[in-house]
């Protein structure tokens, strides 16, 4: 409901934290509140606070860069390994029909945070597009973020992360 309530959306948009959340959040000792699912050596997985669909995850390198070609081999390998594990976990707990995986590079490409590159892992289901996003500019999520977070965390460590 916090997301759906337009006053909450306005509040969230007007009160964004200073600096880069992708740099700040992993350094804080507050993974639960920051919706961080796991931390690797060169990248981490975080839930999208304003998701396109339930279970929308972001895989983010720790190093602050917006330049795709600057990713190191270690970063590329871990980002895609974490994305692969994210897909496996989401398939198990959400019974998905498909996924969108993508990197929006630059504002023109739709990047909400264009200064720090990140990979979107978006679960999809047959028929998941609804009229609310088209007519009311509102996204409807069938499950609260915290519930999804607990389901992800419970499943995440059942299998070995690549």
Cβ-contact 133, 4 below 8 angstroms = no
Going from the C-alpha of 98 to that of each of 69, 82, 87, the distances in angstroms are 28, 17, 9
14 three-class SS: helix
120 is catalytic: no
Rounded Cα gap, residues 80 and 36, in angstroms = 17
Catalytic residue among 56, 85, 116, 118: 118
- The residues annotated with a catalytic role in the active site are 118
């Amino acid at each position: 409901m916090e997301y759906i309530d337009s006053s909450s959306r306005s509040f969230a948009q007007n009160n964004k934290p200073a600096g880069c959340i992708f740099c700040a959040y992993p350094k804080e000792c507050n993974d639960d509140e920051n919706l961080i699912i796991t931390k690797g050596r060169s990248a981490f997985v975080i839930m999208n606070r304003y998701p396109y669909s339930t279970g929308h995850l972001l895989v983010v390198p720790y190093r602050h860069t917006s330049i795709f070609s600057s990713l190191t081999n270690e970063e590329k390998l871990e980002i895609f390994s974490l994305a692969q594990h994210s897909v496996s976990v989401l398939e198990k707990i959400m019974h998905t029909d498909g996924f969108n995986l993508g990197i929006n590079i630059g504002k023109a490409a739709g990047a909400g945070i264009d200064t720090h590159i990140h990979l979107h892992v978006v679960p999809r289901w047959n028929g998941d597009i609804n009229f609310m996003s088209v007519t009311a500019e509102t996204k409807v999520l069938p499950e609260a973020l915290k519930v999804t977070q607990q389901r992800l965390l419970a499943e995440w460590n059942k299998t070995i992360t690549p």
